[in-house]
Amino acid sequence: MEYIQATILRHIPDVMSLIYLKIGHFDIKVKDLDTNTVHTVSFWKEIHEDNFASRETWIKEFVLRRSLVAGMIVGMYRDFNVNMLCISVLE
């Protein structure tokens, strides 16, 4: 959790209040570098958990759309200039 706060979440001021409440939900823009498209992925944090998670929107917006299967390698980095995650299928 500390790593997420120190890296990604510190660039999203609106989310910081949710972290201090120890529960929250937020959407983040994700750019698919292979298709040059931008999607929205939702993250949430349960009150008893230390990490944020994504499931339904990640599966819909990336896994199913790109027909990913187990064993494929996906690269991801944060582009601070445009304030979004960038994702690419590497293998």
Report strand pairing: 74-79 vs 84-89.
Answer: antiparallel
Higher-pLDDT residue of 1, 25: 25
Q: Which domains does the chain have, with CATH numbers?
A: 2-89 (2.40.330)
* Residue 9 backbone phi and psi in degrees, to 5: -70, -20
Model pLDDT, residue 21: 47
Q: What is the mean pLDDT of residues 64-80?
A: 89
Unique residue bearing structure tokens 């187990």: 70
Higher-pLDDT residue of 82, 34: 34
Q: Tens digits of per-residue pLDDT, 12-66?
A: 555 555 554 455 677 888 899 999 999 888 877 777 776 777 767 778 778 888 8
Higher-pLDDT residue of 90, 46: 90
Residue 84's DSSP bridge partners are 79
Query: Has this prediction a pTM greater than 0.85?
Result: no
